[in-house]
Amino acid sequence: MRKLENGSLYNTEPDAYIEYLFVEKEFDLDAPVIYNQGFFYGDISLIFTRPLKKDDFTLFLNIFTEEFNKRASELTYFEGKIIDLSEYKFVIFDKDKNLTIFEAITSSFFKALRASQKFMIVGKELDFEKFKTHKIFDDFYKFVYRIFDKDKIMDNYIEPDATVEYLFIEKAQQQIEVINDDQAYSMAYVYINFTGPFENNNLTAFKKFLQEELICSLQDLKNFTDKSINFDDYKFYLVDNDKNTIEFAVMDEIFYEALIASLRNLVIVGKNFDFEAFKDHRIFLEWFDKYSNKT
């Protein structure tokens, strides 16, 4: 909620998320599914009440165009690809998998979308009946309607013993600014299990797990220059609830013992990065305020 000048409150949280699946027109329905190639998910948030109302057709079209291009530009696979949406169909579907097909995003499309809030963007030559049984559509359908076999999930789910939130900033050869304009970063978390089949309560297992998680981000996201990571190029900070830090030059046993003892939030930056100067930067504040595990 946000307060107006007259003291009344208005809603700033979205009233709805329009969720979509984009499948490029060249997609081969008979090829094996590779989860970072040929398609992606996205969403657009809508607010139904003034003064931040965002549900009229023209505004939706502007928001969608911006969000769609931003989402595509983030992904390595779509780098350099020109997506001409005039070559696609826009397919609204409901919980019963009924499809309503539109040749373009029109006011009629938007009116129908308001009812289901789920749609797909697919090539005009796509075999829709075949696609309705495809794994990509099935996964997306289950995701947006939250249809899962809960018993099966819980049978295989193991509650992590701890969660470490991290902020990773790509190293730079020369640290010209507090954070250079071309330095990519990511915010995420890693689980730690002290017992059981997924135990990673030792430096070797934790380091391997963290490296694998980071490499997935580096390879999938366009903004990262390096697609692999060598921890020897980085230094590490544990950050407490008061933003006090402990610095480690290497990820060694001393570092890991301190991490396990405190379960502090972890920042990974290049050796020449001035982290104290960065603690007032909006990126750090966003991570610390929204994503760090401060409880």
Band of residue 4 on the pLDDT scale cut at 50, 70, 90:
very low
| Token pair belonging to 16 | 């709805």
pLDDT, one tens digit per residue, over 20-73 is 999 999 999 999 888 888 999 988 877 665 554 556 788 888 889 988 998 898
Task: Indicate the number of domains in the chain.
Answer: 2
Predicted local confidence at residue 269, as pLDDT: 96
- Is there a single domain that holds both residue 149 and residue 212? no
- Is there a single domain that holds both residue 147 and residue 21? yes
Q: Is the dihedral of CA 268, 208, 193, 153 positive or negative?
A: positive
Predicted local confidence at residue 54, as pLDDT: 57
- Is there a single domain that holds both residue 137 and residue 265? no
Q: Pick from 153, 180, 198: which residue ends a domain?
A: 153
- Taking the whole predicted model, whether its pTM rises above 0.85 is answered as no
- Is there a single domain that holds both residue 11 and residue 124? yes
Distances (CA, A) of 156 to 152, 153, 161, 192: 7, 5, 16, 17
When mean pLDDT is compared across 13-17, 59-63, 94-98, 267-271, the lowest value belongs to 13-17
- Find the DSSP H helices in 84-202: 107-116, 128-131, 135-144, 150-156
Structure-token match 């797990």, residue found = 209
Q: Pick from 109, 134, 153: which residue ends a domain?
A: 153
- Is there a single domain that holds both residue 141 and residue 170? no
- Is there a single domain that holds both residue 6 and residue 147? yes
Whether 295 has a pLDDT exceeding 50, the answer reads yes
Mean pLDDT, residues 193-213 taken together = 80
Contacts of 101 (CB under 8 A, 6+ apart): 89, 90, 91, 128
Structure-token match 């899962």, residue found = 148
Predicted local confidence at residue 13, as pLDDT: 58
Please check whether residue 207 is in contact with residue 231, taking contact to mean a CB–CB distance below 8 angstroms.
Answer: yes
Nearest to 221 by CA among 125, 77, 112: 77
Whether 101 has a pLDDT exceeding 90, the answer reads yes
Please check whether residue 39 is in contact with residue 185, taking contact to mean a CB–CB distance below 8 angstroms.
Answer: no
- Is there a single domain that holds both residue 147 and residue 163? no
Task: Round to whole Å and give the CA distance between 140 and 153.
Answer: 17
Predicted local confidence at residue 239, as pLDDT: 94
When mean pLDDT is compared across 9-23, 31-45, 77-91, 120-134, the lowest value belongs to 9-23
- The side-by-side arrangement of strands in the sheet containing 39-46 is 39-46, 16-23, 118-123, 88-93, 99-102
Predicted local confidence at residue 194, as pLDDT: 77
- Is there a single domain that holds both residue 110 and residue 178? no
Q: By three-state DSSP, how is residue 115 classified?
A: helix
Pick the most confident of 73-77, 85-89, 143-147.
85-89
- Biggest CA pair distance of the chain: 62
Predicted local confidence at residue 135, as pLDDT: 92
Whether 128 has a pLDDT exceeding 90, the answer reads no
pLDDT, one tens digit per residue, over 150-162 is 565 445 555 677 8
What is residue 290's DSSP assignment? I
Band of residue 18 on the pLDDT scale cut at 50, 70, 90:
confident
Q: Tell me the percentage of the chain whose pLDDT exceeds 90.
A: 43
Mean pLDDT, residues 225-247 taken together = 92
Domain of residue 247: give its range: 159-291
- Is there a single domain that holds both residue 182 and residue 284? yes
Task: Round to whole Å and give the CA distance between 97 and 158.
Answer: 32
